[in-house]
A and B are shown apart, each in its own frame.
Chain A
């Protein structure tokens, strides 16, 4: 066990971590405090206004970031929720209801609208989602202009002139600052908590690689809807406040595209998907534009818009990861350390002897029944009447030339592709055969898979990648983290725990695939070419690892080209060629089969060897 503790401390460098946390915490504390202290000390109304604006946008951007950053859904229509909050507050205030109450009514309304809008739009990606969100914003804009009975149309709505905390309308600025600061802090706290929760991990995983997230049994649509609802609710609360602060709202300003883009801009400048990036982005940009306006006078219309546009262009060209990436650079962390392939070997401190080797259990009952699978792509018959069974504790090797249809079969027995005909039945935990249909359902029935083209959640650390799998079994973050570390240790990934997955060499990524699936504690493991690209020197250890997995009672199907691994691991081998099962049986028999040699090497080899 010495190995383990040693490798853990070497990764973390305990002292510097505390120091760094301190630095970041101090920076955050000082920043937040100054948002309140500076305006009070200066006491100038204009300065108050600037700081209120900062808090408002910091809150809005942070709220946007929950759906735009964590979930990666690029909404350019967030002003919808701001407008809903503002109008709800304004109209209810005119009906005598305090914003302290209407704030929550607006939040619930906005969350509902967000779910209704987002649900059909989630299948749209990138620019299309953005376009749809703009179109929805435009629809809300036109409706608010025309529903004069409710909104007063283009004339807008005013607050009744009744000052005080219950109406949130003040003649002084300080109370407004206190309220908006409180709201902003709430949004920051929610955003911080989400990022650290199971939901946060699932959102980021979904953003990074939706197919792999579905493979890890994440309900990718659900989690994004939660995020959209939370984000919209928080945005609406800020909208309610801002309506009272402005004392007047109208459709042009409430449902405004430029306003939406501004919210997004601050988050981008700060760092998309980071917890505090939007805060710092706002603090940097709002004063710059306000000062510029001060210098050039209010006559310079368009100035702040121009500055925003230029900043946006410069940021995407030169600093696409935002301010937070600079913080990362100057507050050095253990992340971002580049690992090249040569380091890979030294990671193989897999203390195989430490892991208790249980005796291999005898091969048991059938756990997976595949019957008569058929699949066509266009005119191509890619899978033709493929049937086989998998037994408990067995390793079944699938081999065959490139393009033979092996991965297609895998996709059909893990729910990523549906067969034209035929059936796949899995023995569930209660001993019944069930026929799952979706990747999630397969995962829940105990089937875990890796992908031939590795699908890491690139921007997440190795530990977080594995935790995404672990969340399937474990509710709490801490428990999942513990499991993730254990698995990382077993698979020789401990040294990389804090490394972002994108920096791993290919061998490491292959092991990370296995680790993430193992964290789901599957009973059936589908391995798609996990040995490809592994150095021959490391092959030995990889084979031993799979033996350990097998001996723990997990049934394995492995597509593999590395014949040494196939021969040593497989209890049975199936050869697929041109979508059909060409041969099956014990490995030694199969490789002597003439049809197999022909499929692999071309016909004449067999002729030559018989000559």
Chain B
């Protein structure tokens, strides 16, 4: 019973971490209809920035949010404006290559600059363990869990209660009609991409004290993020959150019972089953692919 409890807790912790990484990805797809293959690399860049700023300024890693999030927001806007937007009328495969190319370029740029070394952001006490009944968790994990809930809730409020949020949803549901309302659709796409990348920036800062970062870090997270985003129903933020928790649990249980090396087979196996049998995700239906929040 204790084992089960501790696996569940660990699964949920892992799941909320995955949720943070995936939320931006699903938001970007929901609005711009672009699958951002470079999403993980934005996170890797965010973690690198966190490491650099923390070590050079000697501040608490969480304080780097002030720098990292706006920087990534701007980076997202630049990418949308100069890479994605010019390709909006191109074939799907061209759009895929654009972000795939971006991903390769970013990974290898970091490899050239920093080599394949691991960088450890100072943990600043966030790797202290907390007892939670039979389970032990890290302080940083609890922070991530709380933040992921705030993030999903905050995005939901933003999308439903603000003028900008409504404009974003309107654009996702009917781009043509949105233009006819006077919405500047390319600006909305830029802001959305920026927000999506800023979200992964928040995830990067919170992850940094717990995980070392290297040029390949993004890759290992982004595949899981794709799994989650498809399972949750592309574009659905709430769906991604639940899917992330499920995948977190699968990860924890498969890791324990199958061993850490085989757990990926379980995760990707589930992914392929979902993709083939329920391409619209576990919670949505096909018609609502544009569904956001």
Contact = CB atoms under 8 A, between A and B. Distances in A.
Nearest to A72: B93
B276 A120 contact: yes
B104 A305 contact: yes
B96 A138 contact: no
A389 interface: no
B104 A139 contact: no
Task: Give the interface size bracket for A toward B.
Answer: 35 or more
A136 interface: yes
Given A139-B269, A301-B112, A309 B275 contact: no
B272 A139 contact: yes
B104 A309 contact: yes
A123 B275 CA distance: 10
B105 A139 contact: no
A377 B226 CA distance: 33
Contact of A127 (B96, B103, B105, B264): B96
A530 interface: no
Given A126-B96, A309-B103, A131 B275 contact: yes
A272 interface: yes
Contacts of B215: 302
Contact of A316 (B101, B110, B264, B272): B101
Contacts of A143: 265
Contacts of B276: 120-121, 123-124, 132
Interface in B85-137: 86-87, 90-98, 100-112, 115-116
Interface centre among A131, A146, A308, A316 (most CB of B within 10 A): A316
Given A121-B276, A317-B86, A258 B226 contact: no
Given A126-B93, A138-B223, A313 B87 contact: no
A309 B106 contact: yes
A97 B106 CA distance: 43
B279 interface: yes
A597 interface: no
B108 A309 contact: yes
Contact of B261 (A72, A145, A272): A145
Contact of A320 (B94, B102, B230, B264): B94
A120 B160 CA distance: 37
B8 interface: no
A312 B264 CA distance: 29
A561 to B, nearest CB: 25
Given A132-B275, A135-B268, A320 B262 contact: no
A300 B35 contact: no
B276 to A, nearest CB: 5
B142 to A, nearest CB: 30
A224 to B, nearest CB: 15
B89 to A, nearest CB: 11
A258 B35 contact: no
B271 interface: yes
A317 B87 contact: yes
A310 B97 CA distance: 11
A128 interface: yes
A312 B104 CA distance: 9
A301 B112 CA distance: 6
Interface in B24-48: 35
Given A131-B226, A301-B115, A74 B93 contact: yes
B157 interface: no
A313 B111 contact: no
Contacts of A284: none
Contact of B100 (A123, A124, A142, A261): A261
Interface in B255-269: 261-262, 264-265, 268-269
A302 B90 contact: no
A388 interface: no
A216 B219 CA distance: 43
B102 A313 contact: yes
B230 A131 contact: yes
A225 to B, nearest CB: 16
Nearest to B262: A146
A143 to B, nearest CB: 7
Contacts of B223: 134-135, 138
B59 interface: no
B83 interface: yes
Contacts of A128: 230, 275, 279
Nearest to A305: B108
B120 to A, nearest CB: 21
Contacts, number: 139
B58 to A, nearest CB: 29
Interface residues of B, number: 45
Contact of B92 (A125, A258, A302): A125
A303 interface: yes
Interface in A289-340: 300-306, 308-313, 315-317, 320
Contacts of A120: 276
Given A302-B215, A309-B104, A309-B108, A142 B261 contact: yes
B108 A303 contact: yes
Interface centre among A123, A311, A312, A315 (most CB of B within 10 A): A312
Contacts of B279: 123-124, 128
A316 B92 contact: no
A306 B261 contact: no
Interface in A106-145: 120-121, 123-128, 130-132, 134-136, 138-139, 142-143, 145
A268 interface: yes
B93 A139 contact: no
B35 A127 contact: yes
B179 to A, nearest CB: 22
Nearest to B222: A134
Contact of B272 (A132, A302, A304, A309): A132
Contact of A313 (B35, B83, B96, B219): B83
A308 B104 contact: yes
A297 B200 CA distance: 35
A120 B100 CA distance: 24
Given A139-B265, A309-B106, A320-B90, A302 B98 contact: no
7 shortest interchain CB distances as A-B pairs: A302-B111, A309-B105, A312-B101, A305-B108, A309-B104, A126-B92, A302-B108
27 contacts: A127-B95, A131-B35, A131-B226, A132-B276, A135-B223, A139-B269, A142-B261, A142-B265, A146-B261, A146-B265, A258-B104, A272-B93, A301-B112, A301-B115, A302-B215, A306-B104, A306-B105, A308-B104, A309-B105, A309-B107, A309-B109, A310-B105, A312-B100, A312-B101, A313-B98, A313-B102, A320-B94
Interface of A: 72, 74, 76, 120-121, 123-128, 130-132, 134-136, 138-139, 142-143, 145-146, 257-258, 261, 264-265, 268, 272, 300-306, 308-313, 315-317, 320
Interface of B: 35, 83, 86-87, 90-98, 100-112, 115-116, 215, 219, 223, 226-227, 230, 261-262, 264-265, 268-269, 271-272, 275-276, 279
Given A74-B92, A312-B101, 14 more contacts: A121-B275, A134-B226, A135-B275, A139-B268, A145-B261, A146-B262, A302-B109, A302-B215, A306-B108, A308-B105, A310-B101, A316-B90, A317-B83, A320-B94
